[in-house]
Structure 1
Amino acid sequence: MRYFITGIFSLVFSLTLQAQTGAAVTSRGVVADSSTQKPIALASVVLQNAEGKTLKSTTTTDKGVFVIPVAANVSGNKLVISYVGYESRIIPLPASNELGTILLASAAAALGNVTVNATKPLVKQEIDRLVYDVQADATAKGQTAMDMLRRVPLITVDGDDNIQLQGSGNYRIFINGKPSALVTSNPKDVLRTMAANLIQKIEVITTPPAKYDAEGLAGIINIVTVKKTADGYNGSVTLRESLPFGPGVNVNLTAKRDKFGLSLFAGGNLRVGITTRNENLRKTFGTSTETLYQDNHVRNRGYGAYAGSELSYEADSLNLLTASVNYFFNPVRSTVNRNSSYFAQSGAVLQSYDMRNEGEFNFSAVDLGLNHQLGFKGKKEQLLTSSYRYSYSLASQLGDIVSTNKLNYTQPDNKQLNDAGFREHTFQLDYVNPIKKFTVEAGAKAILRTNYSNTSGEVFVSPSAGYVNDPLRSNVFDYQLNVYSLYNSYSLKLAKWTFQAGLRAEHTTVDANFTSTSTKLDQGYTNFIPSFLALHSLKNGNTISFGITNRLMRPGINQLNPFIDKSNVQIINTGNPNLRPVISHLFELSYNKIGKKGSANFRASYMYINNSVESVTNVVNDTVSYTTFENVGQNRILRFNVNGNYAISPRFSLNFNTGIFYVWITGTYNGRMYSNSGPRTNTFLNTVYKPNSTWQFGLSGGYNRRYINLQGGSNDYYYYSLSATCNVKKFTFSAVFNNPLFKLYEFTQYNDSPDFYQSNKQYLIYRNVNLSFTYKFGKLSSGLKKNKRGINNDDAPSSN
């Protein structure tokens, strides 16, 4: 039995800052929206003299607060406060430098009959992340979470819904700031199921501070769901129909009374039986060229259901308890009909057969969490949070494979079963203490995770004997991974500068057991992960920021699992339990520009990785390919990204996102050096027209240039959609028409080497229509408190 010790420690920090005296004093205030009373972050605050010359400038914090040095006893000085989409205000400096709350009215309100004047920015730059406001995207109605990810800067989604962040497939996905088993092992199906109108925003954290686990070479994707939490109740019901895929429904409910609060979201979709087609092609080069061609027809049917809930209890002003639960279930039944032929260079058929695979795939996941937040008297921002989390996921894969019309094909009919998943317990302690301009954070954490796989198989012997157990297909795989970590970070906010620096120490232990080979693995390693972030406020609310960090990747069950998938005996896939951890190094520089009609963000980054885990393929005896994972890659990615928004007119707005990056990747596998490089891009453009407060129309499109892998890549991918939304009181109707001119799209992924070429071409359903109807109900009046700290197991790998 493994044991762990989570050290409970307390930190006592004291700092004495002396106020400036003499001619220099400071003015303080809070900038907020006049209608919602919510603070406005990154609003521009400019100090001018009587002639209008700029003397000083700064921007507001996330809480709308600004502090700006002023000259005492100078008449005529004034503050000019502005933010895109709002009317600017000029505030003469009063005798008292405490300005209180300054309210900005939206530009739309000032126009009277014109209801819309400026676009709300879709993308916001913060010191350590980019934030995509899904609720501000007029074309989001009727879409899914996966559709929204295609629009987010720095994220690439290909035709098969494989997700990459900054050109890397290794990242973490959170839901509401917390890792979830729902998206750790099976992100594609979960995000295809989740409705976009349940999402408030999507955050891309490329330089995570020390409080985050070190896992995730490229960073973190955090999906924040809608929570209108206040006294009373509020909710919505949405009915969806996606043609030709099937119907769906989702419900969102929030309620609060006195000290108790509840938030709930649930939904699902039905996947009707749809048949799609894909082709496998392999050419082997030797004394002669031989070709394998497989034509596959796949029919999938099933459903996906998800639910999440959070309960809070505010015992008193210093104690807050929260509990959460998330659940996802996705059973799929599939039928694969394959015609396989193997040709000599002359065209003669060397081997052929027809195969039918009746398969089942069942995925389930659950998260349970409990948090206690303790405040301190006299200092509400000083917090100590204790957290516990249990997470579990299971993927069960069953195949019943029967072959007919055989020519020189001797493989027997067979059945195979693989149950793979993980379970984990997490204990965490976090402490935060703001001391004037400083904020100190520290914490300790222990993650106890078990990855496991149980494999079995049967082969058909004869009509009389039927199926018998195949010992070569049986294996029990247990992979116990424990992570113990400590972190300490500091933040400093000055008039024009914000700094954040920290260090995280993680010790990992691994205890693995493979029953089929009687092999055991016992190892441990320690990593120190530094991070540094700086943001400088310029004139007129513009900012420039810089970040540097290291990140860590520990292989997960989908890469470690030694299960040999023989559903296709010519093209075999398996994991590698001997994979080692990987470290990345990231440097990032960004500039945020705010104008009168819009804003833009420019970002440049460079990331390099040694010993990266790569998917590699080897052909044996010219007839069978084996694909697995190896620590063989050396990756470098240089990236430049531009995104922003612009109000063309009071009713017409434009949002854009373009990422251009160059990839270099090298590595040695099976005695051969591979090298691949080239440019990539992902571009998205979204336009919205709002003729009045009832209707809005959207047009959007995107283009992704090919993947670049160690042995190959993919073809380019593009998409576009038309949308219309009608809002009538509590009802919303929306229609989205995706790719109306193209019924199917051919998406190809390939491996290319001097010895062979292998590809998979998928004919994807491209043209589809999404219809939705939403009804909103209830009324809320005040905010529900939530823990400001909690468990974030961003070390748990995601799978594409």
Structure 2
Amino acid sequence: MKFKHAIIRLIIISTALFTKNITVFGQTSTDHHINGIVADSATKHPLPMVTVRLKKANNETVQIMVTQGDGSFKFSAVIPALYTLSVEAIGYGFKTISVDLIRFRSKTIDLQSIYLGDSMVGLKEVAITGDRPVIRRKADRIIYDLKADPESKINNVLTMMRKIPYLSVDGDDNLLMKGNSSFKVLINGKPSGSLEGNLKAVLKSIPASTLESIEVITTPPSKYDAEGLAGIINIITSKKINDGFNGSVNVNESFPIGGPGIGGVFTAKSGRFGVAASGGGSIYHSPKTFNTNKRVDAIGITLEQEGNQRSTNKTAYFGIELSYLVDTLNLLTAQLNYNLSRVNDHSAQASELRGLNGFLQQYGFENENKASSYGIDAGFNYEMGFKAMKNRLLTFSYLFGSSLNDKNGGIMFDHRVNFTTPDFLQTDHHQFKEHTFQVDFVTPVKKLNIEAGIKGILRKNTSDFDYSLLNTAMGQYERTPLLSNSFSNTQNVFSAYNSYRLILNSWNISAGIRFEETVISADFSGTTSLAEQNYFNILPSVAIGKGFKNGTSINFGFSQRIRRPGINRLNPYVDRSNPNYEVTGNPDLRPVLLNNLQFGYGSNKKLSINIGLDYSFMNNLDLQVVNFNPATQISRVTYANTGKSSSSGGNFNLSYPVSSCYNASLNGNAMYLWLSGQDNGQPVKNDLLLYAVILSNVVRLSHGWALNADVGLNSRNPTGLQGYTNGFFYNAFNFNKEIIKDKFSIGGGIKNPFTKYRNRVNTTFGPQFSQVFESRNYFRSFNFNLNYNFGGLKDRINKNRVGIKNSDIAR
């Protein structure tokens, strides 16, 4: 009945929203004028600061103007005649349009969108061009052009994330958005289940040179799913083709930490059929390093541990997109993404427990752990246009996603003193499946763009975990039923949205609302239902942007976002690899709702400036908590809805061409976090000042040489309600040399040349204990790569403008 009520409620809501869109009032003007919007032909994003000339038939220029921040322009008081409109922008092809004001009775001609494609230069042509802007700001997002940054040719995607506004990478190579680890990652605007749970490894394995740009969407419109507290990161792959083909291949090596890798993209088009593929793989090797751990409880009992670890991670990924243009009104597209990971870990540790009166316990162990995972998603979209209005679209979409993770560990003890736990094996097999169905409708009415849609997501998580203890008498492992079980969690989300986007002179306004009904059930096998949840959310989103004639822009935004706990936080499997610590999930977790306000300022003058200010707050926050039991001397690490937080801070990016060959940029963020909750019924606070800043220097020399130097500083970061890691200093020096212009290049560099190891310190505290874990990790590394581009035609394969993509990048 809950499903039925949810579906009926959403049908009523969506019907009302669609009906609401029928009547829109317009206005007329008595002036002779010509309107239009200049946009990128690939991304469909409006282009500001583009020169537009209105010329007579004899080529005499009548008027000149520059497009506003929203890409719009308007010629007023134009005498009826035959004209030519010329549009030109740096990095784009020149375009002319014939305009006849005599033949049309209307005194207003609205050219709507004028799309500019990439400029192309033949062998015998000469073109005067300028550098492409690395960063562009829109009302709801930042766009970072990887093709305009020479460092993209020598780094992986995760490393490049350090330079992008709102993003940072912590000391454990975890990607953060506005200091938050909760965000959604899309590929070409589409969700990818193949990235779930394996994001760090996949981003390390993708060469940045194989991508086109990265969008950081800080105020997602209502058409996006509401999941991801901080926002959305959208990875755009390169797809520049016409009838023909092109692509690129990158081969790289990193040592002593890291390893070999290869990645590439390929695109081809013939008539109405197009294909775009990307793939690659890498081996990431972490040599042996050492760690220490010390925990002291309230009565003076001390746990001291010393250990070492090493690991190897092998990752491979593949993605393909297909499109077929049936006719001018019907388009079919499909996509498939896949990734695979294999991890081998070895760790060893010596442990000693001492009390006030002396020695209490001792043991040592070795742990051989193997893990494998794969993720796959596949989907298709059917887009139907309308003859009466070209930009009115109805799209039907389906997407299937699945991921599988297996963990197998064997723990063998030695040097036992007052320690009786036998050797044991532990395994965990957890799987995720998702089906998504969606219908979208979009229609423009003059300068107003109206969108609405309905969506259903059916998710299922399962986990089967087993513990087997060694029977020394029999010499074999026996399953322990009390420590073994299977867990199932279903999460179904039904949603409807309605959004409006208005482009009015220099203003760009988008507002909308999203309704989401979530139905959750969770249970263990052979027992009664463990938990059932059913909640309904109304989630608004507003983004307002204004561009000025001097090239500056401002934007305001408000959004509500939600985080539903995933299998990693829900899974009740208990990892007992370290007998004094148990790590597990919490099946009773509830979702978290975030409210976010933001302001942004951008200037694309010689000194490029992008500044963002944010304030957000959350209640019922699901935090990692550490519960210490003095009787057993075991710390249990899990998650609980025990916290509330608020944060206030800013993000900034400054870029300045010091000379014709030297450019400097500064990217960073700073935020103060107020975090509070409870541990065993006692209040705990963890207020922190967080910051990350990186200074990048790019020197372009003659004969295709480019040199880069990056210097960065990261503050400590919270690890939950009761902990934080220490900060660190980061630096890197790289070079790139074009052997064949725009075709073949080589590059290399060194990261952290002055520091061979980094001591990572993780401090954890509570009312009954304090703990410091310190690990020594390789910090210095060398890298080398080869990059080859082939083909040369520059247009795009056809793709849906809406669908299961949770973004408007193709609009």
Same fold (TM over 0.5): yes
> C-alpha distance in 1, partners of 2:526/2:637?
20
Q: What residue is the counterpart of 1:51 in the other structure? A: none
Stretch moving more, 774-783 or 526-535: 774-783
Deviation at 1:519, TM superposition (A): 3.9
2:270 to 254, 257, 261: 257
Q: Kindly provide the amino acid, as one letter, of the partner of residue 302 in structure 2.
A: T
Q: Kindly provide the amino acid, as one letter, of the partner of residue 715 in structure 1.
A: N
Q: What residue is the counterpart of 1:41 in the other structure? A: 47
**1:704-750: CA deviation from partner (whole Å, max 9, x where unpaired):** 11113421211112211111111122211111211111111112222
> C-alpha distance in 1, partners of 2:325/2:100?
39
> C-alpha distance in 2, partners of 1:617/1:105?
54
> For residues 72 and 618 of structure 1, do their structure 2 counterparts lie closer, same or farther at Cα, with a shift above 3 Å needed?
same
Correspondence 1:325 to 2:329: no
Correspondence 1:432 to 2:438: no
Q: What residue is the counterpart of 1:234 in the other structure? A: 246
Q: What residue is the counterpart of 2:60 in the other structure? A: none
* Alignment check: 8 A CA contact 1:119 1:645 kept: no
Q: What's the % identity of the aligned pairs?
A: 35
Correspondence 1:603 to 2:647: no
Secondary structure of 2:585's counterpart equals: coil
> For residues 118 and 643 of structure 1, do their structure 2 counterparts lie closer, same or farther at Cα, with a shift above 3 Å needed?
farther
* Alignment check: 8 A CA contact 1:31 1:104 kept: no
**1:460-486: CA deviation from partner (whole Å, max 9, x where unpaired):** 121425211101221111001100000
1:307 to 290, 301, 318: 318
Q: Kindly provide the amino acid, as one letter, of the partner of residue 736 in structure 2.
A: T
Q: Kindly provide the amino acid, as one letter, of the partner of residue 334 in structure 2.
A: A
Correspondence 1:570 to 2:580: yes
Q: What residue is the counterpart of 1:411 in the other structure? A: 421
Q: What residue is the counterpart of 1:535 in the other structure? A: 545
Q: What residue is the counterpart of 1:344 in the other structure? A: 355
Stretch moving more, 162-171 or 407-416: 162-171
Secondary structure of 1:540's counterpart equals: coil
Secondary structure of 1:13's counterpart equals: coil
The 5 Å alignment of 1:121-520 reads: 121-244=133-256, 245-272=258-285, 274-286=287-299, 289-345=300-356, 348-515=358-525, 518-520=528-530
> For residues 762 and 83 of structure 1, do their structure 2 counterparts lie closer, same or farther at Cα, with a shift above 3 Å needed?
farther
User: Paired residues, what number?
Assistant: 769
> C-alpha distance in 2, partners of 1:271/1:587?
39
Deviation at 1:584, TM superposition (A): 0.6
> C-alpha distance in 2, partners of 1:462/1:104?
72
Deviation at 1:19, TM superposition (A): 2.3
Correspondence 1:613 to 2:622: yes
Q: What residue is the counterpart of 2:726 in the other structure? A: 715
The 5 Å alignment of 1:65-104 reads: 65-68=71-74, 70-71=76-77
2:697 to 687, 691, 706: 687
> For residues 33 and 422 of structure 1, do their structure 2 counterparts lie closer, same or farther at Cα, with a shift above 3 Å needed?
closer
Deviation at 1:246, TM superposition (A): 1.5
Secondary structure of 1:150's counterpart equals: helix
**1:81-118: CA deviation from partner (whole Å, max 9, x where unpaired):** 998899999xxx99999798799999x99xx99x9986
> For residues 270 and 27 of structure 1, do their structure 2 counterparts lie closer, same or farther at Cα, with a shift above 3 Å needed?
same
> For residues 503 and 39 of structure 1, do their structure 2 counterparts lie closer, same or farther at Cα, with a shift above 3 Å needed?
closer
Secondary structure of 1:787's counterpart equals: coil
* Alignment check: 8 A CA contact 1:328 1:365 kept: yes
> For residues 40 and 789 of structure 1, do their structure 2 counterparts lie closer, same or farther at Cα, with a shift above 3 Å needed?
closer
Stretch moving more, 775-784 or 120-129: 775-784
> C-alpha distance in 1, partners of 2:325/2:150?
36
Correspondence 1:550 to 2:560: yes
* Alignment check: 8 A CA contact 2:44 2:115 kept: no
Q: What residue is the counterpart of 1:798 in the other structure? A: none
**1:557-587: CA deviation from partner (whole Å, max 9, x where unpaired):** 0000000110111111100000011111001
Deviation at 1:701, TM superposition (A): 2.1
Stretch moving more, 38-47 or 615-624: 38-47
> For residues 55 and 665 of structure 1, do their structure 2 counterparts lie closer, same or farther at Cα, with a shift above 3 Å needed?
farther
> For residues 464 and 588 of structure 1, do their structure 2 counterparts lie closer, same or farther at Cα, with a shift above 3 Å needed?
same
> C-alpha distance in 1, partners of 2:762/2:470?
34
> For residues 102 and 374 of structure 1, do their structure 2 counterparts lie closer, same or farther at Cα, with a shift above 3 Å needed?
closer
* Alignment check: 8 A CA contact 1:322 1:787 kept: yes
> C-alpha distance in 2, partners of 1:172/1:327?
18
Deviation at 1:617, TM superposition (A): 0.3
* Alignment check: 8 A CA contact 1:705 1:715 kept: yes
Q: What residue is the counterpart of 1:592 in the other structure? A: 602
Q: Kindly provide the amino acid, as one letter, of the partner of residue 43 in structure 1.
A: M
Secondary structure of 1:149's counterpart equals: helix
Secondary structure of 1:790's counterpart equals: coil
* Alignment check: 8 A CA contact 1:234 1:254 kept: yes
Q: What residue is the counterpart of 1:28 in the other structure? A: 35
* Alignment check: 8 A CA contact 1:46 1:540 kept: no
Secondary structure of 1:41's counterpart equals: coil
**1:689-715: CA deviation from partner (whole Å, max 9, x where unpaired):** 112361111111221111134212111
> For residues 749 and 37 of structure 1, do their structure 2 counterparts lie closer, same or farther at Cα, with a shift above 3 Å needed?
closer
1:764 to 768, 777, 780: 777
The 5 Å alignment of 1:615-764 reads: 615-621=624-630, 623-692=633-702, 694-708=704-718, 709-729=720-740, 730-764=743-777
> C-alpha distance in 1, partners of 2:303/2:277?
51
> C-alpha distance in 2, partners of 1:301/1:768?
16
> For residues 55 and 200 of structure 1, do their structure 2 counterparts lie closer, same or farther at Cα, with a shift above 3 Å needed?
closer
Deviation at 1:759, TM superposition (A): 2.9
**1:288-307: CA deviation from partner (whole Å, max 9, x where unpaired):** x2221222211212411110
* Alignment check: 8 A CA contact 1:117 1:651 kept: no
Stretch moving more, 243-252 or 778-787: 778-787
Deviation at 1:754, TM superposition (A): 3.6
Q: Kindly provide the amino acid, as one letter, of the partner of residue 535 in structure 2.
A: Y
Secondary structure of 1:246's counterpart equals: coil
Secondary structure of 1:188's counterpart equals: helix
Secondary structure of 2:702's counterpart equals: coil
* Alignment check: 8 A CA contact 2:32 2:79 kept: no
Deviation at 1:620, TM superposition (A): 0.6
Deviation at 1:365, TM superposition (A): 0.6
> For residues 376 and 40 of structure 1, do their structure 2 counterparts lie closer, same or farther at Cα, with a shift above 3 Å needed?
closer
Q: What residue is the counterpart of 1:776 in the other structure? A: 789
* Alignment check: 8 A CA contact 2:51 2:89 kept: no
Q: Kindly provide the amino acid, as one letter, of the partner of residue 768 in structure 1.
A: S
> C-alpha distance in 1, partners of 2:349/2:233?
37
> C-alpha distance in 1, partners of 2:236/2:157?
11
Which structure 1 segments of 5+ residues have no match? 49-53, 795-800
Q: What residue is the counterpart of 2:105 in the other structure? A: none
What is the alpha-carbon root mean square deviation over aligned residues? 3.4
> C-alpha distance in 2, partners of 1:271/1:37?
34
**1:140-185: CA deviation from partner (whole Å, max 9, x where unpaired):** 2221121112222112211111222212222111122111122222
Q: Kindly provide the amino acid, as one letter, of the partner of residue 67 in structure 1.
A: F
* Alignment check: 8 A CA contact 2:66 2:73 kept: no
